[in-house]
Amino acid sequence: MNKAFTKETDADTDDDLVSQPLPVGGKNYITPQGYARLRSELLELIDTKRPKIVEIVHWAASNGDRSENGDYLYGKKRLREIDRRIRFLTKRLEIAEIVEPAYASGEPILNRGQ
């Protein structure tokens, strides 16, 4: 079958947003700075970026024919990407265990087990 007639799925475009799942019972260790960075990205997506895209999609949908409306089609795709990233960040932050780096506490990394 010709590639032109195959349906593109969301899974085909997720390569840059998908990461390896944590092993069962594994910990998601994160520094306070990393936690703050992920949290600020999540808040930026929820408070700023998503509402702007929703407004554009709403406007584009009110224009009529959605099948040929680039603003609508691109906006819906972008919303899916944003929602996917929001779910990812939310899950990671829920299971995050904030730890200080070993060098910050003055404890050498090699002497931890002694």
User: Which pLDDT tens digit goes with each residue over 59-82?
Assistant: 999 988 888 888 999 999 999 999
Q: How confident is the model at residue 3 (pLDDT cuts 50, 70, 90)?
A: low
pLDDT of residue 57: 93
Domain 28-96 CATH (choose: 3.90.1480.20, 2.40.160.40, 1.10.287.180, 3.40.50.720): 1.10.287.180
pLDDT of residue 68: 83
Alpha-carbon 47 to chain mean position? 14
Per-residue DSSP letters for the chain? --GGGSPP-GGGG-TTT--PPPPTT--EEE-HHHHHHHHHHHHHIIIIIHHHHHHHHHHHHHTS-STT-HHHHHHHHHHHHHHHHHHHHHHHHHSEEE---TTTTT--GGGTT-
pLDDT of residue 69: 87
pLDDT of residue 73: 93
- Residue 100's identity, in one-letter code, is E
Mean pLDDT across the chain, nearest whole number?
A: 80
Q: Is the pTM of this model over 0.85?
A: no
**CA pair distance 62, 42, nearest whole angstrom:** 29
